[in-house]
Every structure is written in structure tokens, then in C-alpha cells.
Amino acid sequence: MYVRERWTTPDQDFIDLDWQRDGTPSGAPLIVLFHGLEGSSRSHYSESFAEFARLQSAAYVVVHFRGCSGELNQAPRAYHSGDFEEIGWVLERLRQRHTGPLLVVGISLGGNALLRWAEESGSLAANTVSAVASVCAPIDLAASGASIGQGFNRQVYTRMFLQSMKPKALRKLAQFPGLFDGEALRAAKDLYAFDNIFTAPLHGFKNTDDYWRRASAKPGLHHIRVPALVLNALNDPFVPAASLPAMQEVGDWVTLWQPRDGGHVGFPSGAPPSRLSTLPQTVGAWLLQNCGLSIKL
């Protein structure tokens, strides 16, 4: 389904991009997807957007954050929710090689990082992309961190994430002995502790609180100057409804969609087994509209 391309990063590391075999017409839109925490091109949402892009005759690529493509990256770093500089480098390179509109989707962690890029870029973002969409992003990282660290979320989802993240971090420690406290990381029981030991110090933050504060997209939404969709379901178990922004907290370029149902990157439709095409169709139609195109039904 995908053709993989590896790029060397400015710090001599690498990232992997998975392209859908195109055959798309010259000048067609390119849909770019940044995945969520521990996601990849094989995540259900990535494959749903791939099918949407195919039906719309659009090019499609999934950009893997470092270490998420099945091979450990080489630098003494990983990825994080505010990784807007990496996103900016990727998008600028895609802009240089693609002639059609760039329509960018960020899922969960990737959505927050994408919004942070749009905020930091201001009016310059429009030179690179036509529109961006954030789906179920934890734009208030402290609120989402508290939510995922409690009750059922802690027992199920926190454990699931740490089962993937801890081994990767320990492999990073084997690459770079002394990079962080391995015993403390093994003892970490939640994402707050993991971020305090690993994510924050490896990426230039003082601690988890500093990381979650500086990387959260919510405070800077009014700085965005390119069409931006911020989609969050009110029943998302990771993103408390009370933490979501109101219209007066965002600028004119930002569209807020806050449906009652949808969960975290779900939005199924129909009776079980539900279809997952609602999400890419809805988000994709919004993105296409913002570059003067309409969805093909």
C-alpha cells in the first residue's frame, strides 16, 4: 500500500515517510498526516485517510515521528507534543517538491504539534500550506495528562502507552549510556513520570510541567493565520471537555468543531461494526473546501 522514503534530518538523524502509490494528476492536493502518540502509517486513522485520499485523487503521505516507523532513530532524542520545528522542516521540504495544495492533518499528539507550528509561523504558514486540521489533539497537555493518569484511563490506556514507550526509551539509553536514569524510567507508572524522566529533558524542557505548559497549543490559537480546524469530541476520554477552548479564545482563522460524540479519534457511524470513514470524509471535505475544491462522493 505504501512506498517508504527516508529523509536525513538536519541533525543527521532520519525520519521515514510512507507515500500512498499515487498516479495522481499533476497539481492535485497532497494530504499530509502527522500521527498520534506511538502511531504510524498502519494506525486505523492513517489507513482511513489513505482511502479518502485515493477516492479524491489526492496524493497522500504519512510522516513518522522519530522512532515510530519500526526502526529506532539515531539521535539522543525522540519526539514530543510540541515538536513544531520538525513539522516545519518537513512541510517546507514537501512544499518545495509538490506543486498542488498542501492539506495537513494532525492526529492527537500530532495535531497539537501541528497547531504549534501554525502558531509559531503566523502569517508565513500560508506560504507553505492551504489549510490544517487538528483531530482530537490534547491542546491543554496538563488537563489531558491529568485525565489519562486517573481511573480507567490509567489502568488501560496509560499502561498500553507505557508498554510501547518504555522499551523504546530503554533502547535509546542503550544507544547513549547515561542519557537518563534507567531505573527511574522502569519505575514510572504514568505519563507524567515518563515525561519528567525522558521526554522533557531530552527535548530541552526543565520538567514535565514546563514541557506541558510550553508545548500546549491552546494558549496560542489566536496567533494562527491560516485556515485551521480544531476538532475535539466532548466525550474524548483523553481531552476533558472543560479544557477545550471557546470561540472567544481563538482567532478568526480557527474553526472549532466540538461534537458531543466521537471519543478519541473514533467518530464511527452506523450500527456495529461501525464505519470509520466519517472522520476522513468530514475533515477532508473541510480541507478541500479551503483550497477551493469539493469532495467527490
Question: Is residue 27 one of the residues assigned to a domain?
Answer: yes
Residues forming a β-bridge with 102: 30
Closest to 63 measured CA to CA, from 126, 6, 124, 131: 6
Closest to 134 measured CA to CA, from 100, 173, 96, 105: 105
Based on the domain organization, do 132 and 34 belong to the same domain? yes
CA distance from start to end of the chain: 22
Based on the domain organization, do 169 and 37 belong to the same domain? no
Write out pLDDT tens, residues 11-40. Answer: 999 999 999 986 677 789 999 999 999 999
Based on the domain organization, do 63 and 109 belong to the same domain? yes
Based on the domain organization, do 224 and 85 belong to the same domain? yes
Write out pLDDT tens, residues 125-135. Answer: 999 999 999 99
pLDDT of residue 153: 82
Based on the domain organization, do 39 and 9 belong to the same domain? yes
Closest to 27 measured CA to CA, from 70, 57, 4: 57
pLDDT of residue 274: 44
pLDDT of residue 268: 67
Share of the chain above pLDDT 70, in %: 96
Based on the domain organization, do 135 and 279 belong to the same domain? yes
What is each CA distance from 26 to 18, 71, 99, 167, in whole angstroms? Answer: 19, 32, 7, 43
pLDDT of residue 273: 40
Write out pLDDT tens, residues 129-177. Answer: 999 999 999 999 999 999 988 888 888 889 999 999 999 999 999 999 9
What is each CA distance from 278 to 52, 184, 275, 285, in whole angstroms? Answer: 10, 42, 7, 10
The answer to whether the beta carbons of residues 228 and 131 sit under 8 Å apart is yes
pLDDT of residue 240: 96
Catalytic center residues: 108, 236, 264
Write out pLDDT tens, residues 81-126. Answer: 999 999 999 999 999 999 999 999 999 999 999 999 999 999 999 9
Q: Give residue for cell 482563522.
A: 253
Domain total of the chain: 2
Q: Which domain holds residue 157?
A: 141-215
Question: For all residues of the chain together, what is the average pLDDT?
Answer: 94
The answer to whether the beta carbons of residues 258 and 285 sit under 8 Å apart is no
Based on the domain organization, do 184 and 279 belong to the same domain? no
Which secondary-structure segment (H or E) carries 279? helix 278-289
Question: Is residue 44 one of the residues assigned to a domain?
Answer: yes
pLDDT of residue 269: 60
Phi, psi (deg, nearest 5) at residue 15: -130, 155
Write out pLDDT tens, residues 243-296. Answer: 999 999 999 999 999 999 999 998 866 444 445 678 999 999 999 999 888 888
Based on the domain organization, do 52 and 174 belong to the same domain? no
Based on the domain organization, do 248 and 113 belong to the same domain? yes
Based on the domain organization, do 156 and 273 belong to the same domain? no
pLDDT of residue 8: 98
Question: Is residue 294 one of the residues assigned to a domain?
Answer: no
pLDDT of residue 152: 80
Rg (CA), the chain: 18
Question: Is residue 295 one of the residues assigned to a domain?
Answer: no
Based on the domain organization, do 152 and 33 belong to the same domain? no
Based on the domain organization, do 128 and 238 belong to the same domain? yes
